[in-house]
């Protein structure tokens, strides 16, 4: 059984995250203040992320939070943890400024270019589509 979790990272909430204890069989303590939300992704009783079976779809763990709330740091820690457990993990970050669309977003975010607010939101969406082969 594979579970995913969505964690809201916030500067104002205090917690100790218990991540997927039953299915992934590990516990992670986050140094920053986070609030765990929502759990289940998929039910396949023969599938455990611990054994990294090819037929498993894996778990998608999403960290959301305000700018500068520590999402990137916590993601890096999670990836390190998984790698230490011998579990393959990929870190995806959005916006991904390395792609063609990401470069346009980066220019917008650094005030190097001006874009309509609605147009930039479409670019954020397109930026995720650019990474679909990693995600699916
Ligand atoms: C991923 C994403 C980021 N953003 C904003 C939030 C941040 O201010 C900025 C990304 O900053 P960052 O690269 O330092 O994380 O882009 C959106 O407005 N929409 C989105 O979908």
H-helix segments, the chain: 21-24, 71-84, 100-109, 117-130, 132-135
Calculate the alpha carbon distances from 69 to 37, 66, 108, 135 in Å: 17, 5, 22, 24
Calculate the alpha carbon distances from 3 to 19, 54, 99 in Å: 9, 16, 30
C-alpha atoms less than 13 angstroms from C-alpha of 67 in its C-beta half-sphere = 2
Q: Return the domain boundaries, the chain.
A: 1-11+58-93, 97-135
| Mean per-residue pLDDT, 107-133 | 95
Higher-confidence position of 4 and 45: 45
Mutate to test the pocket of ligand 1, among 111, 124, 127, 135 (most ligand atoms within 8 A of CB): 124
Q: Which residues line ligand 1 (CB under 6 A)?
A: 67, 94-95, 109, 124
| Mean per-residue pLDDT, 86-95 | 91
pTM: 0.64
pLDDT digits 0-9 by tens, 54-71: 566 778 888 889 999 999
Cβ neighbours, 10 Å, residue 81: 14
Nearest CA to ligand 1 atom 6: 67
Which residues, in sequence order, are CB contacts of 87 under 8 Å at separation 6+?
49, 50, 52
CA of 95 to the centre of ligand 1 (A): 6
In the chain, what is the straight-line distance between the N-terminal and C-terminal CA atoms, in Å?
A: 18
Q: What percent of the residues of the chain are helix, what percent strand, and what percent coil, each to the nearest 5?
A: 35, 10, 50
State the average pLDDT for the chain.
72
């Amino acid at each position: 059984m594979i579970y995913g979790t969505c964690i809201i990272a916030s500067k104002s909430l205090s917690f100790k995250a218990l991540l997927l204890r039953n299915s992934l069989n590990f516990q992670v303590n986050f140094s920053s203040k986070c609030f765990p939300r929502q759990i289940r992704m998929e039910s396949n009783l023969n599938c455990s992320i611990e054994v990294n079976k090819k037929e498993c779809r894996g778990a998608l763990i999403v960290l959301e939070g305000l700018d500068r709330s520590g999402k990137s740091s916590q993601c890096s820690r999670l990836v390190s943890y998984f790698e230490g457990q011998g579990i393959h993990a990929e870190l995806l970050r959005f916006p991904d400024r390395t792609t063609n669309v990401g470069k346009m977003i980066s220019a917008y975010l650094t005030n190097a270019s001006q874009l309509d607010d609605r147009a930039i939101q479409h670019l954020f969406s397109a930026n995720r589509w650019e990474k679909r082969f990693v995600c699916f």
